[in-house]
Amino acid sequence: MPRTFRKGFLLAALAGSILSAQAAETEYNLLDVYNLALKNDAQLAAARADMMATQEGSTQARALLLPNLSLSGGTQYNKTKTETTADDVKDSYNSNTWGASLNQPLFNLASWFGYDSAKFQSAQAEATFGYEQQNLILRVSEAYFNVLRAEDSLITDVAEEKAVKQQLDQARERYNVGLIAETDVLEARARYDDSRVARIDGENNLSVAYESLRTITDQDIQDIGKLKKTMPVSAPAPANSDEWVNNAIKNNLQLESARESLKASESNIKVQKSGHAPTVDAFATYTYNSSNGDHSRGLPSSNGALTTGDGDQTVVGVKFTLPLFAGGGTSSKVRQATYQMESVQQNYDKALREINSGTRNLFRTVNSDVSRVEARCQGIVSSESALKATQSGYEVGTRNITDVLDAQKTLFAAQRDYLNARYDFIVNTLKLKQTAGTLNPEDLSELNSWIVSSEEISIPAQCRAD
């Protein structure tokens, strides 16, 4: 996991304690939502458990290289009967045994390479979890700004409904005095009905967007801070796509996970080839035996002889084992591991190409977003000017009500498109950083500095007609 991300993740954890008082309020900002997600998101928790489970494999693989000590013990009752020509011999006694054994591998290539493979798998799991941490940042951001999209769209829908209602009322007044035909009133009424439907859909979309936040945070969030419309929109730095690609190749966590998987596959081939290699183990055992019983000839008697027996044994040695033939199973396992590594290699190459092209595409998309925001801003200016001109023409009789309603609808659509373009820029910038492997909670902190309490939609002055 890149050091920059780990550092940022720790900073976010510290920020969580500072923001806990704010989180208790009814309005949540971006960092509040993120810290709730850190605690409650099920997808991140599952990824964390998967990482920890995989890392235990490294401990288990190392255990095969360390001494193995065991104790054993037992007791049993023995009763025998021997028939002879002279008489029957009966014997009954107790025997007790306990022992200890120690085994230390001295040379075992399979265990050594297995330990290497387990360490690579552990590193792969850590990289995968790091990617899930970055993915949480992106999921929280998308869910948060989708709520703001829905809120802004609903506000625009309400404003449009109100404006169309005013046009409807004016049309009725003009019709009552004979200035316009009834068709203009009917057209205004139809547009008003459409605007009501759009407002109802907007209310539903807002509820759906809040439910997405609930899924991530497991918290009933009903109000969030708003994004300042004056937040600057600038092209990504560095301005060269090749530099972004180079950063992605070095830092992308999905690619790092694929690299560690490839290393683990290479070690697994060595493990299987080690099936042909000898193993050497040192061992030591100690066994203690004791027995006692009543031996008699014929029926047991009270004056039978009592006998006892004790003994122990200590064995120390070195064991050498050389596999000679396993029915072709070892060679088959080597071929299987080779094919598996080839599959992993192809998947790595595929991931490398996708990240290369994906980084370039996102770089171009973010730059396009910057231009798109500027164009949408100019679109609002042009739409406002067109609406004013159309309204003036309507008042003098050169334009009809349909022209006014169309111009009005175009203006509200331009405002909605402008706001959506800004949210697209934010989300795509975060995606670009994730692809480059640099996305961390500090990016959320920077975004959060532009979150304010309950700001109404306010189009920047440069997007307004004079």
The reported pLDDT for the residue numbered 395 is 85
Question: What six digits make up the tokens of 240?
Answer: 């060269």
Mean pLDDT score, 327-350: 95
Q: Rounded to whole angstroms, what are the CA distances from 269 to 31, 111, 322, 326?
A: 46, 13, 19, 17
User: Do the Cβ atoms of 40 and 219 come closer than 8 Å?
Assistant: yes
Identity of residue 393: G
Residue 232 corresponds to which tokens in the numbers above?
A: 């600057």
The class level of CATH for 3-65+108-277+329-463 reads mainly alpha
Banded pLDDT at 2 (limits 50, 70, 90): very low
pLDDT at 17 over 60: no
Q: Average pLDDT of 152-163?
A: 92
Q: Is the pLDDT of residue 91 over 80?
A: no
Six token digits for residue 326: 């396993």
Q: Is 143 exposed, middle or buried (0-12, 13-18, 19+ CB in 10 A)?
A: buried
Of 57, 114, 62, give the one whose Cα is nearest residue 337: 114
User: What mean pLDDT is predicted for residues 406-411?
Assistant: 91
Contact 441, 34 (CB under 8 A): yes
How far, in Å, CA of 407 to CA of 400, rounded?
A: 11
Q: Where are the domains of the chain?
A: 3-65+108-277+329-463, 72-106+280-322
Q: Over 80: is that where the pLDDT of 75 sits?
A: yes
**What pLDDT score does 13 carry?**
42
Q: What is the mean pLDDT of residues 282-303?
A: 68
- HSE-up of 394 (CA within 13 Å, CB side)? 21
State residue 311's pLDDT score: 87
How high is the mean pLDDT of the chain?
A: 88
Radius of gyration of the chain (CA): 39
Task: Evaluate whether 295 touches 166 at the Cβ level (below 8 Å).
Answer: no
Those residues whose C-beta lies under 8 Å from the C-beta of residue 15, and which sit 6 or more positions away, are 31, 35, 441, 445
- pLDDT the model gives residue 86: 63
State yes or no: pLDDT of 11 exceeds 50: no
> How many other C-beta atoms can be found within 10 angstroms of the C-beta atom of residue 161?
22
Q: What is the pLDDT of residue 87?
A: 65
* Residues 6+ positions from 182 with CB-CB distance below 8 Å: 175
Q: What's the one-letter identity of residue 245?
A: V
**β pairing state of 305-321 and 451-452:** unpaired
Give the model's confidence band at 6: pLDDT under 50 very low, under 70 low, under 90 confident, else very high: very low
Q: How confident is the model over 428-437, as a mean pLDDT?
A: 96
pLDDT grade, residue 223 (50/70/90)?
Answer: very high
| Confidence check: pLDDT of 412 > 80 | yes
Classify strands 226-227 and 88-107 as parallel, antiparallel or unpaired.
unpaired
CA distance 385 to 68: 85
DSSP collapsed to 3 states, 154-209: HHHHHHHHHHHHHHHHHHHHHHHCCCCCHHHHHHHHHHHHHHHHHHHHHHHHHHHH
DSSP annotation of 28 reads B
What is the per-residue pLDDT for 240? Answer: 93
Backbone angles phi, psi at 426, to 5 degrees: -65, -50
Mean pLDDT of 84-103: 82
DSSP 389-424: HHHHHHHHTSS-HHHHHHHHHHHHHHHHHHHHHHHH
Please tell me which residue, 148 or 308, carries the higher pLDDT value.
148
DSSP H or E run through 320: strand 305-321
